[in-house]
Structure 1
């Protein structure tokens, strides 16, 4: 366990098939001490029954060294057996131990540093394989916030080309792999070492016939970003003779459980050697010839973070550390930002890819009722595979930022390596457009309370968390927003080539009251949102991609403030209210270009034109209340405004919206008294 000045807590977990523990106990414990393991999975311990412990029981003992808690399965003195050891320095408690009577696995649930862990150590013996179909039942006993760590010797290879040197094909391996693969899919588990090193051949088992990678650590996908290191170690040798202790090499992972998430230090980009190493890693992985390229990017990000952590420690960038504090603040101020300010997503410009010629063509097709052609065009525009150009434009449009991200990689990193990572990102995003299930690590977010600025890996969902999403989310949101922005006018006003969105064009001497409503999207009900998207006939695939993106952090409602998609989605959700207003003949609308307008959508704001009468105000109030109740929207009273329209030569002052205090026969007198109408003469 390591703990930095920032109180980051790192748990080191090691797995090793020792091929007999008791007869080489001192040598094994010496190696565990050298490798600084906090929790140890041992396989083939060969612990048999004695006068106290019978076959099939669990033997718990203090090893009298660094490890004061060790649980062994009791089977035979010559085969099988697994154990989990815990270091004395760990703050452990709440142990629950369950084991296989045949010495093939042990399950321990406990708390370490106040967090729930479930450790499963596996030895999948060749003579009697584990039935993983039954093993999946453990998932029902795992607390939602717990770390599930599964490791051990599984006696099968995951990739026949990368994980062994022998060309021989073994049918039993194929059966073992199929069962293991289904088990991993069921529990959303990933092979940590292969995720980080998809191009590397490295082995954990050695014999005269060849070498294989049989030993693994599996984590649930949403915990992958907590990994700070994963290593296959050299095979240890006895201290007093030139002989290996075991035919297996130890495998270890390091997991950050507490403290602020390590963030990529842009100072590394100023060091030529660091740049070359990270560039080399990206290049090697990008050139992998695999049919599953879309799965590479999440693991690559963790790999880059792990390498960057090592590089930063080795270089001891004291010079850069001194430079970070002041220049970072100056840079933020130069960008118009405020150091320490929080927002769900930085506000950025949506790339303007709207084509007036496309809108004109859609309007033409609408007027001649070629609706199938319209549908085909919109499907093409909204759901075609993501292009490299779209990704590049999205990355370049992101504001320069060193702000906290969920996976540790900053906007600065993405911009610096944009050309190198674009192929990996393209494959990654297009799996989403193929509607393949996304792992929960994909767009992982940081949930932080107002006074808690530490990184939390817990799956906690609050109504309005302080949330920072990773850069991947921002890029895909920009791509989707750019596509939707290009055709949004057609969805809001089918058949109309122009949309009236300017307040000054919509004020008439006839209309005494204009209400500008701005909506807070934080409480928007998702069923209402998804039904609204369906009602305007957005392509099903595009709706599905939006749903996958919005639901990745398992919120139950609301849109992200500042996300480029948010105002566009609000516009669509406003359509039922707009249609109700436009269908009310008691409202008076201004004449604009020969059309009577009673309401206008302007992104996340709606303009409503009312006559100054109780009848009109009562009707509008009921419509608004019905809309709020159905949608879950909240009116942002700090940004909503009331205008009193007068002669065209008069300029308007404005007041914050106050619903709906008014005199018996007109709009609220308090509001009118606070408004000042100034003559332009």
Structure 2
């Protein structure tokens, strides 16, 4: 993958409970090491109203759907500090089965959903959740789910069953209604890899991340990671996002340059030329605006470098004089 293409990195975990502090810390350390932009969590097992803090300086923004009936279920979505996210709306489930977050990232609309299906009445629950998601979602839809069933038993289980149960077919039809595509299977058409281990060496792929068909070409990578926190493996997916630039460090212009009339005139000419050449009917306004910032930064940086050059020369000359004087004193001694 081209490292210069701006991307959003998604990481989804079925954690089997995060009430132990060390487990929470380990999760966030792993997410930071993997440069996760958005973190989907299932089975957090937080009790509604008394959940421990999960947000840190690396992941300062988080949304939670906790179960009101005890320490079970629960889903969450966390955002990295590098993500320029503006929240639009959140929809939580009091039963802790789903959480929807609608937001903008650098003016691109996204809807994120973290879903954990119950062990009973799965098809009815899935249908109900997807109906609510359909009316809620807008923009690029990303859904992280633990369906508790493999979508294709022929490839998604170690037993390699040749038939697909009717319950799974109903799941697939529900997903098709929303035109959701399993990104890992899309990139690994007939490969076998598993995200969940049962007793007696039985394996299956239960953890999925979906996007809609119209956005599937945005997917650059999808990887099932090694087990770390529970008997489920985390799943990582990378989507290109032309409007997203991770915040490596905050750039601040040297505002003293604006006191120079010649520099202000240069900036004015440069921006007029930029918009005259690039502001066309088919140009995206958000992309045009993001690109203009790079132009301004380039002009500021060039001028700042030009002003520093004489100071650098003077500094080097002064250092040479100091070295010469030091040598002379040494010889005199």
TM class by shorter chain equals: 0.5 to 0.7
Specify the SS of the correspondent of 1:150: strand
Equivalent position of 2:108 in the other structure: 115
Q: Assess, with a 3 A threshold, how the Cα gap between structure 1 residues 196 and 29 changes in structure 2: closer, same or farther.
A: same
Q: Greater relative contact order: 1 or 2 (C-alpha under 8 angstroms, separation 6 or more)? A: 2
Instruction: Tell me, in whole angstroms, the C-alpha distance in 1 between the residues paired with 2:285 and 2:95.
Output: 46
- The question of 1:14 aligning with 2:7 is answered no
Q: What number of residue pairs does the alignment pair up? A: 246
Cα offset for 1:150? Answer: 0.8
Cα offset for 1:32? Answer: 1.0
Deviation string, structure 1 residues 536-579 (Cα, Å, up to 9, x no partner): xxxxxxxxxxxxxxxxxxxxxxxxxxxxxxxxxxxxxxxxxxxx
- The question of 1:190 aligning with 2:181 is answered yes
Cα pair 2:107 2:286 within 8 Å, conserved: no
Deviation string, structure 1 residues 316-369 (Cα, Å, up to 9, x no partner): xxxxxxxxxxxxxxxxxxxxxxxxxxxxxxxxxxxxxxxxxxxxxxxxxxxxxx
Specify the SS of the correspondent of 2:222: strand
Q: Assess, with a 3 A threshold, how the Cα gap between structure 1 residues 115 and 454 changes in structure 2: closer, same or farther.
A: closer
Cα pair 1:74 1:81 within 8 Å, conserved: yes
Q: Assess, with a 3 A threshold, how the Cα gap between structure 1 residues 452 and 25 changes in structure 2: closer, same or farther.
A: closer
Q: Assess, with a 3 A threshold, how the Cα gap between structure 1 residues 455 and 202 changes in structure 2: closer, same or farther.
A: farther
Given candidates 217, 220, 230, the residue that maps to 1:246 is 230
Instruction: Tell me, in whole angstroms, the C-alpha distance in 1 between the residues paired with 2:168 and 2:153.
Output: 10
- The question of 1:216 aligning with 2:200 is answered no
Cα pair 1:73 1:100 within 8 Å, conserved: yes
Q: Which runs of 5+ in 2 are unaligned?
A: 245-279, 289-333
Specify the SS of the correspondent of 1:230: strand
Q: Assess, with a 3 A threshold, how the Cα gap between structure 1 residues 452 and 71 changes in structure 2: closer, same or farther.
A: closer
Cα pair 1:152 1:216 within 8 Å, conserved: yes
- The question of 1:204 aligning with 2:195 is answered yes
Specify the SS of the correspondent of 1:67: coil
Instruction: Tell me, in whole angstroms, the C-alpha distance in 1 between the residues paired with 2:71 and 2:160.
Output: 30
Specify the SS of the correspondent of 2:47: coil
Q: Assess, with a 3 A threshold, how the Cα gap between structure 1 residues 454 and 67 changes in structure 2: closer, same or farther.
A: closer
Deviation string, structure 1 residues 138-158 (Cα, Å, up to 9, x no partner): 323333xx0011112111111
Specify the SS of the correspondent of 1:195: helix
Equivalent position of 1:524 in the other structure: none
Specify the SS of the correspondent of 1:151: strand
Q: Which runs of 5+ in 1 are unaligned?
A: 54-58, 237-244, 261-447, 457-681
Equivalent position of 2:137 in the other structure: 142
Given candidates 113, 116, 125, the residue that maps to 1:131 is 125
Cα offset for 1:80? Answer: 1.1
Cα pair 2:187 2:221 within 8 Å, conserved: no
Instruction: Tell me, in whole angstroms, the C-alpha distance in 1 between the residues paired with 2:145 and 2:198.
Output: 18
Q: Assess, with a 3 A threshold, how the Cα gap between structure 1 residues 17 and 451 changes in structure 2: closer, same or farther.
A: closer
Task: Answer 1 or 2: which has greater strand percent.
Answer: 2
Equivalent position of 1:233 in the other structure: 225
Cα pair 1:133 1:179 within 8 Å, conserved: no
- The question of 1:67 aligning with 2:47 is answered no
Specify the SS of the correspondent of 2:100: strand
TM-score of the aligned structures, taking structure 2 as reference length: 0.67
Cα offset for 1:183? Answer: 1.6
Q: Assess, with a 3 A threshold, how the Cα gap between structure 1 residues 454 and 198 changes in structure 2: closer, same or farther.
A: farther
Instruction: Tell me, in whole angstroms, the C-alpha distance in 2 between the residues paired with 1:99 and 1:19.
Output: 20
Instruction: Tell me, in whole angstroms, the C-alpha distance in 1 between the residues paired with 2:65 and 2:136.
Output: 21
- The question of 1:104 aligning with 2:91 is answered no
Cα pair 1:258 1:454 within 8 Å, conserved: no
Cα offset for 1:134? Answer: 2.5
Q: Assess, with a 3 A threshold, how the Cα gap between structure 1 residues 62 and 89 changes in structure 2: closer, same or farther.
A: farther
Equivalent position of 1:87 in the other structure: 80
Cα pair 2:106 2:243 within 8 Å, conserved: no
Cα offset for 1:453? Answer: 12
Cα offset for 1:180? Answer: 1.9
Instruction: Tell me, in whole angstroms, the C-alpha distance in 2 between the residues paired with 1:126 and 1:188.
Output: 24
Cα pair 2:117 2:126 within 8 Å, conserved: no
Cα offset for 1:179? Answer: 3.0
- Counterparts of 1:264-663 in structure 2 under 5 Å? none
Instruction: Tell me, in whole angstroms, the C-alpha distance in 2 between the residues paired with 1:100 and 1:179.
Output: 23
Determine which structure has more spread, i.e. the larger CA radius of gyration.
1
